[in-house]
A and B are shown apart, each in its own frame.
Chain A
Amino acid sequence: MSHTTILDTGSRAPKSQQSLSVPRSGSDEAIGGTVTASINGQDVKVPLGTTILAAAQKVGIRIPTLCHHPDLCVAGVCRVCVVEVEGQRTLQAACAFPITSPIKVLTHTQKVRQTRRHVIDLLLSEHYGECYACGRNNNCELQSLAKEYGVDFFRFGHPDKPKFEIDRSSYSVIRDNDKCVLCRRCVRTCIDLQEVGTIEVAGRSDKSYITTFKDKPLGEVVCINCGQCINRCPTGALRANDPTDEVWAAIDDPRKHVVIQTAPSPRAAIGECFGLPPGEPLTFELNTALRLCGFDRIFDTNFTADLTIIEEGTELILRLYKALVAKDPDIALPQFTSCSPGWVKYLEHFYAQYIPNLSSAKSPQQMFGAVIKTYYAEKHGIDPKDIVTVALMPCSAKKFECNRSEMDDSGFKDVDYGLTTRELAKMISEAGLELPKLPKSDFDAPFGTATGSGVIFGATGGVMEAALRTVIELVTGAKVENLFEKANIIPVRGFEGVKYVELPITQVGPVPDILKHLVPDWEWLKGATLKVAVAHGTANARKVMEDIKAGGKFSQCHFIEFMGCPGGCIGGGGQPIPTSPEIRSARAKAIYAEDAGYEVRKSHENPDVVTIYKEFLTDGPCGHKSHKLLHTRYVARGKYIE
């Protein structure tokens, strides 16, 4: 077994801005490697090229920032972080000043404080809107800055009417430029971090504003709805399309049977909305809260995550069988995962010629919708037209996904509303519930049993790990635990941009009953090496796709997991704000801890999954019925905008 990672290279930012820290040579003590800076009289030794901001952090001095974000390259546009540097004529932006020689910095002198105050006053003079009528009230960086610097009147005035129209054209993201402070975080997110390139600054000077290509509505341009811009917006200029009013209306309607499915990532993060540190899952407290809110049934998305693994895994085996045994040249390999709607739309826009490679299996959210409005409705004698399915997702792209025209295989709209973590937290607060203090309660039958495999879908590498656990067992007949300690497939875990793993298949077992009608034996796989890869964030996905285009090593892979957001679902566009690498890794830890706590940790061992194939999807995985309900098709969108 071997695994390698690709270093992150290539960025829009000029070389001078890309990474302000010079490559570290192991220890800070290396010759020429460090420099001493004096910050407010405190000496601090830092690696050459460290910014004043980072050096100050090291000695516990907090410099306020607005345009700076740990995930993004330096911009230095907001000037909130200005400091006095001895020998410099003007104040310098701490976030963009690399320390290359011993310097003396003063971070909170009268001059600095007054300048910052004026900067904030100037930002407010163009910031239309009232805080109490804003979704980011109490979680707004501009608001906190104003409070921190004691803004008690509008020195340079305050706009009394809006200058821009709110763009509500997208199913997922709403743009309100009147609240924008032009920090360009969304631009850097969209272009550098995600490499989608939906929004940029247009115009010049005081007439500049953030916009899409040719000022077209967001719904009409190339946008993958990943919502990463929402997570990084310091104000309320970007927000998700909020359906909570409709969900409340459905709950209050006695004729409607409102079913909610909760995904693992929001459960690992929702505590942050209630003041808990990141990484404390509230899965079972959340069940109680949802019941108290008035949802009729609470199901675990993990159930369909397991179902996805069975369907997607079977599809992979079928593709491999057709390609290797039947030598069918039309079979598209590698197979790509299709659970991330952001990634799916990215592929449809930028690499439409690879749509055949995309697994036709729906995402767990959409499978659940289809299963609830057919199997569940039938089993419990409820008219599917009275069922409202709500999905709690960490994702803004899921709002787009549930509105895709293909997603009506149950005869109805499979999933009616997608809620983000933030929106559900708001509903829970509205219901007067204090989530962390609620008692625990379980999911409802019949989709209450989940496995650890479903839980780890939330982190990058999770789908791959879950799929490998199942595929290995089905093919080799041996326990995964014999190959990997505690069934933890560590090589596919972690936050490296792209992971590549090779798994030699040395032994094969008998074909399990569930697949008997599809393949006669496993002999054709004996001695083969399964090559898989994992990429998260569309920028990394792009690297892999370009490699495949060029016929590189990833084109030899059999199965590749792609996630639209950095870190996977735990870093999704619907998750609590703020986000940072530390927060995402804390959430991932919570998810892996939850997985380790499950008794059943492999999708094919989930008893509910076994039941549904016995009772409902009787022609087996990838059979006729499952094709109708659990699989979908894609649209080649292309990247040209008319």
Chain B
Amino acid sequence: MNKLLLILAFSFTFLNASDIGVGSALNALNDYKYETPHGRDMRVPRMQKLIVVAFEKSTGDLVNKYLKTKDPYYLLKNDATFIADISKMPTAITKMIAIPQMKKYEHLVYLNYNEEFSKSFPVKKGTLTLLHVDNYKISNISFVTTQKELIAAIEK
């Protein structure tokens, strides 16, 4: 009986983890908090077709470098959101270098500071995670490494 209760408790915990995957509601992303570089709270909007997530500096730089060449509303008008997970960045680096740099961006970046975030997401080292959304649900997940692939996904 005790073993059964233990299994049930473990299963319940597992089922309640906010794992983001195919079939997940887009709104599940709002279980996490996001802020702009200026500290303004944000929520992932409802009408999105693509969520671009960067977990490393290199992949974040790839996105930012491209978006700096485009109109500030480019992602927005393509129903896409860019999330940068900076939870693992050292605080001093975040505060003294990264944030001041990001404040200069004209495009919108959602920053995540929660270390639990990456544990709930499909992550592949050296790649951007792309969540493709259809009818408010994640319909597909892909991983890209080049600007060309990124553009193709955004402008699909």
A binds B: no
Measuring CB to CB, which residues of chain A are less than 8 angstroms from any residue of chain B? none
Measuring CB to CB, which residues of chain B are less than 8 angstroms from any residue of chain A? none
